[in-house]
Structure 1
Amino acid sequence: MKQKQMKGVCLLIAGILFLLLFFSFSGIEKTKLLDTDGRNFEKAEVTNVISGNLSNSGSGKQTVELKLLSGDHKGKIIQATSSQSYLFGAKCKKGMKVIAIINESKGELLASVYSVNRGPMVWLMAAVFVAIVVAVGGRKGISSILSLVFTMLCIFFIFLPMIYKGISPILAAVLVVAFTTVVTMCMVDGITKKSVAAMLGTIIGVVFSGAFALIFGQVTSITGYNVSDIENLVYVGEMTDIKIGELLFAGILIASLGAVMDVGMSIASTLNELKEQNPQMMLKELFQSGMNVGRDMMGTMTNTLILAFTGGSINTLVFIFAYNYEYQQVINMYSVGIEIMQGLSSSLGVIMAVPVTSWIAAFLYSKNQK
C-alpha cells in the first residue's frame, strides 16, 4: 500500500474512532451547580455614559446605556451598571463593544457590564498565528494546525466528558495522549518507521512523566487536593462523579505531551536522515547518534519546561521574594512543591524519551540489515 493511502486509512480510522468516542460521551446531563435561569451573556454597544465615579486608576462604578446586539432583546436600549475592577467590568466609553450580563425576571431586564468584548480580537490573533504557521511551514504547517485542532477537540469532547462520567482522569489522560500522539504523527509524517518511533517514544516518555509525578506526590505527601480553588473543586466532586484527586496528575500528563512529542519526532527524524545519508550505519551507531542528539536537546527542553512552569507561578515567586519567606517555609509550601513536581515530571518525560526513541528508531531503521 502506498504511503498516501496508508496515511488516508490511518486518518479515516482515527476519525471513525473519534466519532465513536464523541457520541459515546455526548449528551451528558450535567448536574446543575448554579442557578442561571433568566441570565444570559449578550453582546452590546455603549451608547451613552450616564454617570461614573472612576478613580485615577480606572476603578469605580459607572452607569451606562447599552444597545443589545444579540439575544432575544436584540436592538433594545437598556441601562446598565459597570463596576470596573482588575478582573471584571470595563471602563466604558461611548461606542465601546462590551459583553453584558442580562438578568430577566418577570419581564424586567437588569443588566451589568461583564467585560470588554475581546472575542473578535482573540480570533484575529489566532488567525494571525495560523497564517504565520502556514506561511513558514507550508503543508507541514497545515498538518500542524490540523493536529493542534484535533488535540483540542479530543480534550474538550472526549477527555472532559470521560472524567465527568467518573472515568479515572489519569486513565483518560493516557488514552487521549496516546490517541492524539498517533494522529498528530500520522498527519505530520504518515505511517513510516520515523513516525512509529516518534509515537512510541512520546507515549512511553509521557507515561514515565506521569509515573514520576505519582511517586513524587506519594513521597512528599502532595495530593490532588492540595491545589488552589480546592474548595470549589471539592464541591464539584461532591455533586458529580469527577475524581478530583487525580486531576493534578492528569494535567501533568497532558502538559508534558507537547515537549516530549517534540523530542521524539526530532530524534526519529534525525536518525532517519542519517540512515538515508549512510545506509551502512548499524543499530549501535544509530542509537549512539540518537543519544548524542538527545543529550543536546535535553538541556534546552528541560530549561524550557522548568521556565514555563516557573513563569506560570511568577506571582508566587514575587510574594516569596517580597515578603522574604524563610527556606523551611518556602520548600514546604504546597504551591511550590506542586510546581517543582510538574517541572521535574515533565522534564523526566523529555529525558526518558531520548533513549527510548533512539533505541526504537535505531532498531526499526536497521531491522532488515545483517
Structure 2
Amino acid sequence: MVSRVKDYIRSAETKRIIFSIIILALYSVVLCFFNSNIEKTPLINSEGKTYAKAEVVEIINENAAEAGERAGSQKVLLEIKSGQYKGERLEAYSTDGYLYGADSEVGMTVMAVISESNGEKVVSVGGVYRGGAVVLILVLFLLSIWIIGGRKGLLAVISLVFTLVTIVGLFLPMIYRGVSPFLSAVISCVITTAVCMPLIGGMSKKTAASIFASVAGVIIAGILAFLFGKLTDVSGYNVSEIDELMFIAANTDIQVGELLFAGILIASMGAVMDVAMSVVTAVEEIHIKNPEMSARELFVSGMKVGNDTMGTMSNTLILAFVGSSINTLVTIYAYDYPMMYTMNLYSTCIEIIRGISGSMGVVFAVPIAAAASSFLYGARRRSDMQAEIV
C-alpha cells in the first residue's frame, strides 16, 4: 500500500499536478498585485447600501394576484443571516417581477437589499438567494471532470480555473485600464493556450504544434470578425446593451467599440483549441505507428481527421451562438418580419458574424495544426534521410 502511494506521488502526472497548482497560485498572486492599484469609478450611489442573505420568517401582508405567473407586492419580515445586520429582523418590501424581486414564502432564503440613511433602514427583497445553488452546480461540474478523468481530469480542472482567473484577473482589468479589448483578448488567449495545453498534454511536439495552431486560429477568427464588421457596418456600438456600455465608457477608459470582437475571440478559443489538439494528436498517433511517413503524408492524414472534427466543432459554435440568441429568433419568427428587414437587423448581423467568424477560426485551425504537426514529426525522417545521403 505504501509503495503504491509512493509510486503515485512519483508519477509524472502527479508531479505535473503539483507543479500546476503552484503555478496557478503564483499566477493568482501576481494578478492580485497587478490589480491592487485599480481604482474603480463609482457608477451608482451605493453609499449606505449593503446586500445580505436573509430568511423570510413572516408574510405581513401582500397585494399579489395570479396572472399566469404570480405578480404583485408583499410586505415581509426578514431575519438577516449575513453581513453587519446579521441576527436582526427587518421588515422589507418584495415586488415579484420577471427580473427582480421574489414571490416570497415563509422559510424562503432571499437576497436582502438594505439601504441605511440617518439611522433609517429601507429594506427590499432583491430576489431568491441562489449563491448556494450556483456553488453546488460548479462543484458538481468540477468533480465530474475529476472523477471521470482521473488525474487528467484534475489537470483539466486546474486549466479551467487558470482560464477563469485569466479572464477575471487579466482580461477584464486590462480592458478597464483602457487597453484595447481586442489586444487584451489576444494576450489572454495566448497566455491561456500556452499554459493550459502543457498542463494537459505535457511539454512535447504535440503541445507546441497545438499551441501554434490554436493561437493562429483564434487570431484569424478575431481578424475575420473585425473585417466582417467593417463589411456590414457593425461594431460593438450596435449591441443591445449599448446604453449601459456608453454610460460606462463615459466614466471609464473602456473602449466599447472593440468589445464585440474581443468576445468573439474568447468564445471561439475553446473550440479552436479542441480542434487543434485533436488534429495534432491524430498526426502524432499516425507517426508513432508509421514513423517512415513523410511530412506531406502526415499532413494529408491530419487533414482527413481534421475535416470530420471541423464539421462537428463548427456546428458546436454555430449552435452555441444560435442558442444564446434564441429569444431574438423567436421574436423575429413570431412577428413574421420580412427577410430583407431581418437580414438588416443589427442583432441578426451580429449573431451571423459571431457564428461565422468563430467557425472560420476552427476551419483555418485544421490545416495550420496539420501543417505544424506534420512539419515537426516529419523533421526526424528528413534528418535521417540527410544523414544517409552524407
Q: Shared fold (TM-score greater than 0.5)?
A: yes
| Partner in structure 1 of residue 215 of structure 2 | 203
* Mapped pair 1:44 → 2:61: no
How far apart are residue 14 of structure 1 and its match? 7.6
Q: How does 1:207-286 map to 2 (within 5 A)?
A: 207-286=219-298
Q: Residue 279 of structure 2 contacts residue 306 of structure 2 at CA under 8 Å; is this kept in 1?
A: yes
| Partner in structure 2 of residue 61 of structure 1 | 73
| Partner in structure 1 of residue 387 of structure 2 | none
Q: Residue 62 of structure 2 contacts residue 75 of structure 2 at CA under 8 Å; is this kept in 1?
A: yes
Q: Deviations over 1:229-268 (max 9, x none)?
A: 2111111111111111111110000000000000011111
Aligned counterparts of 1:204 and 1:96: Cα–Cα separation in 2: 50
Q: How does 1:263-342 map to 2 (within 5 A)?
A: 263-342=275-354
Q: Residue 3 of structure 1 contacts residue 190 of structure 1 at CA under 8 Å; is this kept in 2?
A: no
Q: 1:313 to 1:95 in 2, by over 3 A?
A: same
Amino acid at match of 2:48: G
Of 162, 165, 171 in structure 2, the residue corresponding to residue 150 of structure 1 is: 162
Of 36, 42, 50 in structure 2, the residue corresponding to residue 26 of structure 1 is: 36
Aligned counterparts of 1:60 and 1:116: Cα–Cα separation in 2: 16
Aligned counterparts of 1:13 and 1:40: Cα–Cα separation in 2: 35
Aligned counterparts of 2:229 and 2:223: Cα–Cα separation in 1: 10
Q: Residue 11 of structure 1 contacts residue 186 of structure 1 at CA under 8 Å; is this kept in 2?
A: no
How far apart are residue 110 of structure 1 and its match? 1.1
Q: 1:267 to 1:158 in 2, by over 3 A?
A: same
Aligned counterparts of 1:334 and 1:214: Cα–Cα separation in 2: 15
Structure 2 unpaired stretches of 5+:
1-10, 383-390
Aligned counterparts of 1:83 and 1:27: Cα–Cα separation in 2: 39
Q: Secondary structure at the match of 2:238?
A: coil
Aligned counterparts of 1:318 and 1:156: Cα–Cα separation in 2: 32
Q: Residue 67 of structure 1 contacts residue 75 of structure 1 at CA under 8 Å; is this kept in 2?
A: yes
| Partner in structure 2 of residue 185 of structure 1 | 197
Q: Deviations over 1:262-318 (max 9, x none)?
A: 001111111111111222121111101110011111111111111110111111111
Structure 1 unpaired stretches of 5+:
none
Aligned counterparts of 2:50 and 2:17: Cα–Cα separation in 1: 45
Of 76, 93, 97 in structure 2, the residue corresponding to residue 81 of structure 1 is: 93
| Partner in structure 1 of residue 370 of structure 2 | 358
Tell me the percent identity. Answer: 45
Aligned counterparts of 2:128 and 2:16: Cα–Cα separation in 1: 48
Q: 1:6 to 1:119 in 2, by over 3 A?
A: closer
What value does the CA root-mean-square deviation take over the aligned residues?
A: 1.9
Q: Secondary structure at the match of 1:55?
A: strand
Q: Residue 217 of structure 1 contacts residue 223 of structure 1 at CA under 8 Å; is this kept in 2?
A: yes
Q: Secondary structure at the match of 2:239?
A: coil
How far apart are residue 22 of structure 1 and its match? 4.3
Aligned counterparts of 2:178 and 2:80: Cα–Cα separation in 1: 40
- Structure 1-normalised TM-score? 0.95
